[in-house]
Amino acid sequence: MIELEEKTLQSFLYKAIDEAISLRKQPLFSWTKKIDKVDLIDVFQAAKNTKKDRLFWTNSSNDFALVGVGCTHKVIGHEDRFEQLQKEWKNILQEAIIHDHFKEVGTGLVALGGMSFDPKREKSGLWAKYPTSQLTIPAYMVVKNNSNYYLTMNRYLTNKDNIEQIIHEVNTMEKILLTETEHHHSTQKVIAKKEIAPNTWKKTVQKAVDEIKQNRAKKIVLAREMRLKLNKDANIAGMLKKLINTQPNSYIFAFEQDDNCFLGATPERLVQVQGDKLLSTCLAGTAPRGKTKEEDATIARSLLFDQKNREEHDYVVQMIKQNIEKYCEAIDIPKEPVIYPLRNLQHLYTPVTAKLKPSYTVFDIIKKLHPTPALGGVPREKALAFIREEERLDRGWYGAPIGWLDSNKNSEFAVAIRSGLIQKDEVSLFAGCGVMRDSDPEMEYDETNVKFLPMLHIMEANDESY
């Protein structure tokens, strides 16, 4: 990685081109500057005018957010995707020319993306636009980090580039993205709703129970799909705004691919790395929220002492602990879970902190953790074999790692639950549940209905303006 400290974009470009000539390469260069406060939903909406794919991410505390516009480079992985992603990202960083004297989380060169739940599963037409794994380095990116805001430009450079033309392009894009947009009231609504083979799904749940009772597995996670038809093409910015306002303690995300958008609000962090500090989350065991404070507290107490949910939660705790021990030291995991409240649901929650050993990266951790027992089952391979054979759904990126990483050794990936794939005016929503020995198909079906609510709410009550 070559770091340049030039004060202006023009001087930086001249220096970068000199480096490109001397290296006889066409390196990727990245330039970051500080900007005034902006609303990142406004930026996302304004980016629609560029006719380029958009990326959106906020963390669960809503003090960090990214908007990516366009694409300078895509890193694609297949079955050995973790090794491919890690190798190519390392090569990119080694050759990149980066101007970033801020060194904040999310500044410098950043890639955003995700991957499919199961690379061995045959892909359906529904997920045709989403590769087995993909990290996108956007052409432009706006970052919010607490009260600081940054604009980053990424592009490949050659000795034939016209510097004045590049500066003009940057200024034009900056004006488009950072000029306040005019808001329009949305009239989006759901005009048709269809559950995909619910009775067949319940029979599959019973098959999973039978499998567990025959000691072939301890837990199997099954997912299902609901399809919606809207009265017009989906208002993505409005839905993101609604998710931010209604789903606290959740990661809000959107990944556009042509005329598709994978969007959602997930409470489940897979892993966060800042330097050598690692955080993970055990989130398993679910109950609805109460209608009153008293009812809510009663449900929470029941969840904390419910044997099925505690057993389900403990599978995740033990799996994460066992799988990071090789890569981390100073692992700290509380002995008892607490309640993690969301708008429609509450979960059992146990945080995990550790120190990542120097020779390992976030890709090593993701490879070991995915899928956790909360999304796959226990034992992992037996549960996955059952899912491949019996679940009539291509999960695509649902239930899989999504997130970002930067050139300063920071990254964060969540598990893409509470989500949907939007294709203009058609939407596929996904929800799942953990099947255990004592599971009842009707109760598991009811649980998935509750898990559909966060996304259904923004589809059916999308009164945000954009």
In a domain, 207, yes or no: yes
**In the chain, what's the furthest Cα-to-Cα distance?**
70
Same domain, 268 and 396: yes
Q: Tell me if the pTM is above 0.85.
A: yes
Same domain, 162 and 65: yes
Same domain, 357 and 414: yes
Domain's final residue, options 153, 178, 203: 178
Instruction: Work out the pLDDT band at 9, boundaries 50, 70, 90.
Output: confident
Per-residue pLDDT at 23 exceeds 80: no
Same domain, 91 and 225: no
Per-residue pLDDT at 195 exceeds 60: yes
pLDDT over 90, % of the chain: 87
Same domain, 260 and 158: no
Distance CA(311)–CA(303), nearest Å, equals 11
In a domain, 138, yes or no: yes
**Bigger pLDDT: 461 or 243?**
243
Domain's final residue, options 178, 207, 229: 178
Tell me what pLDDT residue 326 has. 96
Which residue blocks in 31-96 are alpha helix, DSSP H?
40-46, 81-95
Same domain, 258 and 367: yes
Same domain, 337 and 253: yes
Give the DSSP letter of residue 123: P
In a domain, 98, yes or no: yes
Choosing from 211, 256, 268, 391, the catalytic residue is 268
Cβ contact 221:435 at 8 Å = yes
Task: Give mean pLDDT, residues 434-450.
Answer: 96
Tell me what pLDDT residue 4 has. 53
Same domain, 228 and 135: no
Helices then strands (H, E): number in the chain?
A: 11, 24
Same domain, 131 and 80: yes
Pick the range with the lowest mean pLDDT from 52-66, 99-113, 179-193: 179-193
**CATH number for position 275:** 3.60.120.10
- Cβ-defined contacts of 178-184 (< 8 Å, 24+): 178/35, 178/36, 178/38, 178/43, 178/46, 178/142, 178/151, 179/46, 180/42, 181/42, 181/45, 181/46, 181/466, 183/465, 183/466, 184/465, 184/466
Pick the range with the lowest mean pLDDT from 363-367, 433-437, 445-449, 458-462: 458-462
In a domain, 36, yes or no: yes
Same domain, 235 and 303: yes
In a domain, 185, yes or no: no
Distance CA(27)–CA(158), nearest Å, equals 8
Domain's final residue, options 178, 208, 241: 178
Catalytic status, residue 120: no
Report the domain count for the chain: 2
Nearest to 99 by CA among 173, 27, 21, 171: 27
Positions of E strands within 86-218: 97-99, 110-115, 133-137, 140-145, 148-156, 190-195
Q: Which residues are annotated as a binding site?
A: 312, 447
Mean pLDDT of the chain: 94
Choosing from 33, 129, 144, 219, the catalytic residue is 219
Same domain, 174 and 221: no
Catalytic status, residue 268: yes
Same domain, 142 and 194: no
In a domain, 53, yes or no: yes
Range of the domain at 360: 190-460
In a domain, 183, yes or no: no
